[in-house]
Structure 1
Amino acid sequence: MPVDPYAALRPASPIRFLYGINPLAKLLAPLPAMALLVFVRDITTPLVFVALTYLVLLVGVSFTRRLAALLLLVPVAAVVMGLGFAIWTDSSGVNQSIVLWQIGGWTMYGGAMLVGLATGARVAAIVSLALIVGLSTTGPDLVRASVQQLRVPYRIGYTALAAFRFVPRFGYELDVIRQAHRVRGSHGGRGPVAAVRRWVGYIVPLLAGAIRHAERVALAMDARAFGAHPDRTERHLVPFRTRDVVFIVVFLAVSTVVFAATFPWVLA
């Protein structure tokens, strides 16, 4: 079975405090910092937010292979993007006092490299802040919080949740179809042409399975009188408590201190 991103989280230690925070609090707390990071131009501010986010994640969520992979992937991707942005940067608008390397008539200046790495660090900081809610929240809890606190109509929230749950279902059915083709010897050989033929053979049974699954979901929702009333009784409540307010206030305060200390709106 493929990993269901909307499955319930496993029980974690009470020290992992992010699992007990309301999803909306984890979404709203880093949102101002993410918006302001779009407009910064230095490299210090994004790096500070990356370090701050890593500290929150290492303390607030369970340490798993996926977390370790993401913590390693974000800085690597930032460096790769930084090099790409440095190559694309117009050299006429940067500091040309430092020459890193020169290939023919093209020169990589230190100013262009600094601009590229700052851009990559900015993207890494925004992605890292988004991981706070992404690694500690499930889809159902986010929908429940949106319905209960933001008054989003449950017809919209739970319909979107049902649609998103189609993704792991499609992965499971595709795996079953592949195994059935292998058992019957319908692999079609090797090479790009054979691969295209195999994928074409997957389309019809996959669409048929999707239609059957959609019909079952629609019948199940109708049987439960989904949409018949303006509101519905929630079995699982996601309350907005004092700890959520404290988390938002502390995170906003720390973000304000970082921006005030670095003041990144002046080019270094």
Structure 2
Amino acid sequence: MTTITSPTATIDPFAPGVPASAWRFLNHLNPLTKIAAVLPAIVLLVFVRDMVTPLIFIVLAYVLILTGTRITAKIAALLFLAVPIGIVAVGFGFSLWVDAASVDHTAPFLQIGGWTLFTGALQVGCASALRIAAILALALIGGLTTTGPDLARAGIQQLHIPYRIGYTALAAYRFVPRFNYELSVIRAAHRVRGHHRGRGPFAAMARGWGYIVPLLASAIRHAERVALAMDARAFGAYPTRTERHIVPFRMRDVVFIVAFIAASAVIFALTYPWLAV
């Protein structure tokens, strides 16, 4: 059987990716859609003081992520191990900073000598940790299903950001994997030459300092080549440009925004008064 690969994907590593499965709807949405849908809920969650509201949003975000995109083992570990452990650790840490005088009317949870941790302080800490986790979970809806190049293209095409700014950001985004490659080459060259041998934190700092100058020189050379290539193609000479990759905004994007904002409004309405401290 012969496998046919897309020539665009071979030539341009930043071409929009094709989702592995058509029913994973989050991958088919415009990047701006996922931001616009969750942004009102993220803003309002800052003012929430109860534990039920952020917990519901965490469940909602998890359901969308699990049904709307393909997750790897690393992402599954983040969702089901790192986030719960972080909630417990951050919640307990926040509870230690709560003024004991404001919660001393609640039952004691932990006593060590003359120090007492009240259940009221623990509730405040858990509510703060759940609020942070809910904001993170909502941000992951777009973060796990959107690439930087697609977000830049969507900003140029839908928000009409000047393409000089948008594609400059896209070029900067391309620097990141290149720097990783350049750093691996520099490390290999230093190992071959026997520079900065040794173990321990001071040896690691010395090796890191030795990487700075060649990495900076490589960055300057690469930036110069990119600038010359952009000038040769008359980049920025015209007010508009023809887009090679279109990131469309379709009716499904409108439906998702309206549905998510409506669901968020229902959740906030059912858990009212969520502004009470």
Report Cα offsets for 1:200-244 as digits up to 9, x if no partner.
Answer: 211111111111111111112112211111111001111111000
CA contact 2:96–2:121 (8 Å) conserved in 1: yes
1:145 aligns with 2:151: no
1:56 aligns with 2:72: no
Q: 1:106 matched to which residue of 2?
A: 115
Deviant stretches of 4+, over 3 Å: 5-11
Distance 1:7 1:83 in 2: 44
Which of 16, 20, 23 matches 2:28?
20
Q: 2:268 matched to which residue of 1?
A: 259
Distance 1:84 1:153 in 2: 44
**How far did 1:168 drift?**
2.1
Report Cα offsets for 1:9-33 as digits up to 9, x if no partner.
Answer: 4531011100111111111001000
CA RMSD of aligned residues (A): 1.7
**How far did 1:267 drift?**
4.3
Indicate the SS of the match to 1:29.
Answer: helix
TM-score w.r.t. structure 2 length? 0.90
Report Cα offsets for 1:171-218 as digits up to 9, x if no partner.
Answer: 221111111111222242122322222112111111111111111111
Distance 1:139 1:233 in 2: 20
CA contact 1:45–1:264 (8 Å) conserved in 2: no
Distance 2:50 2:19 in 1: 40
Indicate the SS of the match to 2:120.
Answer: helix
Distance 2:149 2:74 in 1: 21
Distance 2:14 2:130 in 1: 30
Indicate the SS of the match to 1:151.
Answer: coil
Report Cα offsets for 1:246-266 as digits up to 9, x if no partner.
Answer: 000110111111111111425
Q: 2:137 matched to which residue of 1?
A: 128
Of all paired residues, the percent bearing the same amino acid is 63
Letter of the structure 1 residue corresponding to residue 159 of structure 2:
L
Instruction: Sort the Cα spacing of 1:124 and 1:16 in 2 relative to 1 into closer, same or farther, 3 A.
Output: same
Report Cα offsets for 1:13-65 as digits up to 9, x if no partner.
Answer: 01110011111111100100000000010000000000000000000011212
Which of 44, 47, 52 matches 1:39?
47
Report Cα offsets for 1:94-146 as digits up to 9, x if no partner.
Answer: 25321111122221000000000000000000010001111111111111111
Q: 2:92 matched to which residue of 1?
A: 83
CA contact 1:98–1:111 (8 Å) conserved in 2: yes
Distance 2:215 2:124 in 1: 47
Q: 2:194 matched to which residue of 1?
A: 185
CA contact 1:7–1:138 (8 Å) conserved in 2: no
Structure 1: segments with no counterpart, 5+ residues: none
Q: 1:196 matched to which residue of 2?
A: 205
CA contact 2:91–2:126 (8 Å) conserved in 1: yes
Give aligned pairs, total: 264
Instruction: Please say which of residues 138-147 and 161-170 is displaced more in the overlay.
Output: 161-170
Letter of the structure 1 residue corresponding to residue 31 of structure 2:
P
